[in-house]
Structure 1
């Protein structure tokens, strides 16, 4: 098997079996193309099936010498590991030469968190007398009520909004759907916006009839517009922090965990595949983990 057929097979596997998005697949492809380039030189020509652990170690040294940042190197190495797992699953290799490869250690970056009071201040700066004031208020309430990603919010559909039972259906990363609860305050704001403001738009462009949040031209909002709305609101509130849609998402998760919510429930609401990701977002402290163990482990229960 040559490099081209290997990369094409890998892309099909990522699409059909792992259901990854086009952007993610493209990123993986670029990682493997870097590997292919390194092992396609005249003095270093090797196919994907003949690579060994020492070969991959040389490749990592090469990445480091290029001056790539630790995070970029880690992402490329992750893509390479996924590629060799694919070859192993397809029985194209007997052993995985990337198994013992370690990426650079990454610092654990904790995103900014807003307090409940700061969230309230930001939301209350929205002027409901202005055009789209009720839309903007509804969007911020929904971000904090359900911990949505920016793309999930702007793509939220009327057909996926169930106010009678207090849930929304969200299409997340990799086109994976999940049901997320939404609070009464956010529901009320969405209904007010839809009934009194969205319904009075002069025109709704074709293809956007089912989108809840629309711009003045009757089209879906952009991520940039959502970032701008939040930036303007936080500046009016006098909050000296970097605030983005993700800040609302992280604050949502943090406040739930601080209030005693089950970590698995928070994981499901955020749409994380791994509980480890949820732990990073909610920066659990050691005392919380100890309390969970002492409360739930059968050896620690008082008789």
Structure 2
């Protein structure tokens, strides 16, 4: 097995929205804001090469939205999904499986592209099976008013229409092995049945943290995003996961932290806190 970080692009969001009730005087120390109160974020995905399978976990915002839409997110940097794949000798057509932690636009927008004449949509990974879970699919295709702006039909419905949509088997426990051969932790605080993959890589457990732990600054339990639909559920979910991660020395792959790629955590008198920071190249 080989693992590759796939940098699909960088963007910014309001720091207050990213930290909920936590005051700016606190979160600004770990995630400094610009003059517009925006903090740096990444859309860092993970590619798993395992035998004949090439599995991509999440795929960023994509590029089919309008200039006005992207203007809300202050895109910056030079990363792109295609350039990241090419860096490691791959192309979109090589991907066999696209695993989506959840269907918010910044995680699945790259799933679907415009067709050549921009009259409709086509799958960005034409040879891939796309994986979500039935509970989350139902949640995303019949969205509540709070999340409706994050579940864009053009990112989601073409997957079903293509016939390439697949559902992970329904979970019966917190940590459960899935159809693709890795374990999943299911979390309901951010959105219904978000999936946090755990990959056994050599002698390490690599955890793709998605929106359960967006950045290093979110490690303390009350530091919960304003975007979470059930923040009081996020806290015990974070507690369970981070305590397990500290106990077992998991390596936490951060999808949204623009400046920290992989971390470990440890128990302290204040609870679970940051232990070490790594570059992907140090681990993979």
Same fold (TM over 0.5): no
With the shorter chain as reference, the TM-score category is under 0.3
Relative to its length, the structure with more helix (as a share) is 1
Q: What TM-score does the superposition give when structure 2 sets the normalisation length?
A: 0.25
Structure number with greater Rg is: 1
